[in-house]
Amino acid sequence: MINEADFVFFPEQLFDRSQVLKAVSRQLGIPEKEISSYRIVRKSIDARKGVKFNVRLQVATKGDVFPDLRGNFDFHDVSTSKTVTIIGAGPAGYFAALQCIMSGLKPIVFERGKSVDERKFDIAALNTQHILNPESNYAFGEGGAGTYSDGKLYTRSKKRGNVTEVLQLLHYFGADEDILVEAHPHIGTDRLHAIMRNIRNKILDCGGEVHFSSKLTGLKLFNNKVVGVVINGTDEYLCDNLVLATGHSARDIYYMLNSEGVALREKGFAMGVRVEHPQALIDSIQYKRKERGKFLPAASYSLVKQVDGRGVYSFCMCPGGKIVSALTEDNTIVVNGMSNSKRNSPFANSGIVVELRPEDYASYSDNKIFSGLEFQKTLETLAYRNGGGAVVAPAQRLADFVNGSGVAY
Ligand SMILES: Cc1cc2nc3c(=O)[nH]c(=O)nc-3n(C[C@H](O)[C@H](O)[C@H](O)COP(=O)(O)OP(=O)(O)OC[C@H]3O[C@@H](n4cnc5c(N)ncnc54)[C@H](O)[C@@H]3O)c2cc1C
């Protein structure tokens, strides 16, 4: 029989098999020699009073086989099936394509950017020569913003849907099994390319289609229904079903939809700055020890505060990560944060954002649908100018920024 129970371990204990076996034997009353193996099925850190790991363990005695944590997916041959046209090969577009395949439908994906294999050269040119390719960058290209995202896989939202299946799919396509058990799963930017390539290959193997350098530029409507798409300004394709998965960065899509007569409505969003700290500082605050040592991961934090009736909060905190240029349009600056799977950079960074409402930026456009987009663009352009007119983000101390004092450099 497989036994399952919760345990609390000091970091050095958890990584010492003999100490874990002793604790398991004591707590479950099973003699150590009868335990054939154990595995962690849930893991989180509690650093409130001394640092401890809370883990749920499954314990096998002789002859027991652990139940499979992996998902079981039915990918059909959809080469001759009814089609669904999907715009955007980001996480939303690719997961929609996989869902189509599992439901017996053929996905046809159009992506404005390049495959992950080609995209990396444009990212290199942006990082080293500050040359932006507006169609292939940190936000556009196979995997969307997701490919160069940090790959943190948890959410504070209550509308979570079937998170387990998403994690199982990511594991199926190459993420470590750890993501199925960690309370705060993380993949890391360095691992996401291969996962995206594997998803694409599955779509193609099942008879779906993925087209790169293929930007949606118009819709074909008949009786108020979408009947076709226009790609790259000239190529027209009929479609019965259309999924728009163009993400947050493609501002042009809203202007196109508006010109095609599609009903749109403005909404609030959050905006802010990236703050960067030495990782050792965050470790010492969170773990309350001078050094985090070899058993603890780079520490993270989460801040939420109400200021004058508005939410101000940390967002997308990246322990052991770096800040990157996530712009898609020339003469703007946009920053975001990412980290590799080892989270071993000496810096931590985090978005500190404030909730904005449509009335805050109503004056930025005569058409209220676009005022938020225009406001965003105005700030991004100002950041570019203050950065000296190069793809270099202006920087200053956070306290100075909050107080409106000091200089940006
Ligand atoms: C540096 C960075 C770090 C991040 N870290 C995290 C994290 O740790 N955890 C997390 O949950 N989220 C993170 N995010 C956010 C996350 O990446 C996005 O929420 C996610 O990628 C959104 O997925 P999406 O598919 O909706 O859109 P996107 O990823 O934006 O993908 C949209 C795709 O559509 C394509 N597209 C747009 N317009 C057109 C068009 N007209 N025609 C054809 N194709 C088009 C784009 O090229 C893009 O590939 C991060 C983002 C960045 C940039």
> Which segments of 212-300 are extended strands (E)?
216-222, 225-231, 235-238, 242-244, 269-278
Judged against a pLDDT cut of 90, whether residue 88 lies above it is answered with yes
Where along the chain do its domains lie? 3-61, 83-259, 269-403
Instruction: Please give the number of the atom of ligand 1 that sits closest to the Cα of 253.
Output: 41
Distance, C-alpha 75 to centroid of its chain:
24
Percent of the chain beyond pLDDT 70?
A: 98
Q: Give the Cα separation of 165 and 228 in Å (integer).
A: 32
Angle at 278 between CA 273 and CA 283, to 5 degrees: 110
Using an 8 Å Cβ cutoff, are 243 and 85 in contact?
Answer: yes
- For the domain covering 83-259, report its CATH number: 3.50.50.60
Closest residue (by CA) to atom 48 of ligand 1? 144
Instruction: Please give the number of the atom of ligand 1 that sits closest to the Cα of 249.
Output: 30
The predicted-structure confidence for 279-303, as pLDDT tens digits, reads as follows 999 999 999 988 898 999 999 999 9
Residue list, ligand 1 pocket, CB within 6 Å: 87-93, 110-113, 138-141, 144-146, 148-152, 215-216, 245-250, 253, 316, 324, 326, 336-338
Q: How many A from CA of 92 to the centre of ligand 1?
A: 8
Taking 3-state DSSP, the helix, strand and coil percentages for the chain, each rounded to the nearest 5, stand at: 30, 25, 40
Q: How many A from CA of 323 to the centre of ligand 1?
A: 16
Closest residue (by CA) to atom 45 of ligand 1? 88
pLDDT band at 409, cuts 50/70/90?
low
What is the mean predicted confidence (pLDDT) over 18-30? 95
87 sits in the region (left: phi over 0; alpha: psi -120 to 50; else beta) called: beta
Instruction: Please give the number of the atom of ligand 1 that sits closest to the Cα of 144.
Output: 49
Instruction: Please give the number of the atom of ligand 1 that sits closest to the Cα of 324.
Output: 1
Q: How many A from CA of 46 to the centre of ligand 1?
A: 31
Q: Give the Cα separation of 312 and 306 in Å (integer).
A: 6
Structure-token match 């995206």, residue found: 196
For residue 100, the model assigns a pLDDT of 98
Instruction: Please give the number of the atom of ligand 1 that sits closest to the Cα of 256.
Output: 41
For ligand 1, mutation pick of 85, 86, 127, 150 (most atoms within 8 Å of CB): 150
Instruction: Please give the number of the atom of ligand 1 that sits closest to the Cα of 155.
Output: 11
For residue 70, the model assigns a pLDDT of 86
Domain 3-61 matching CATH 3.30.70.2700: the answer reads: yes
C-alpha distances in Å from residue 225, one per residue of 87, 103, 229, 262 = 17, 23, 12, 10
Closest residue (by CA) to atom 9 of ligand 1? 152
pLDDT band at 169, cuts 50/70/90?
very high
For ligand 1, mutation pick of 99, 109, 112 (most atoms within 8 Å of CB): 112
> How is residue 109 written in tokens?
């994906």
CB atoms within 10 A of CB 250: 20
For residue 302, the model assigns a pLDDT of 92
Q: How many A from CA of 33 to the centre of ligand 1?
A: 50
Q: How many A from CA of 247 to the centre of ligand 1?
A: 5
Instruction: Please give the number of the atom of ligand 1 that sits closest to the Cα of 337.
Output: 1
Closest residue (by CA) to atom 47 of ligand 1? 140
Judged against a pLDDT cut of 80, whether residue 388 lies above it is answered with no
pLDDT band at 71, cuts 50/70/90?
confident
Percent of the chain beyond pLDDT 90?
A: 77
309 sits in the region (left: phi over 0; alpha: psi -120 to 50; else beta) called: left
Task: Return the higher-pLDDT residue of 95 and 383.
Answer: 95
What is the mean predicted confidence (pLDDT) over 217-235? 95
Q: How many A from CA of 338 to the centre of ligand 1?
A: 13
Name the nearest CA neighbour of 283 among 271, 267, 294, 269: 294
**How many CA atoms, within 13 angstroms, populate the side-chain half-sphere of residue 317?**
18
pLDDT band at 227, cuts 50/70/90?
very high
Q: How many A from CA of 311 to the centre of ligand 1?
A: 24
Instruction: Please give the number of the atom of ligand 1 that sits closest to the Cα of 138.
Output: 53
Using an 8 Å Cβ cutoff, are 314 and 303 in contact?
Answer: yes
The predicted-structure confidence for 94-151, as pLDDT tens digits, reads as follows 999 999 999 999 999 999 999 999 999 999 999 999 899 999 999 999 999 999 887 7
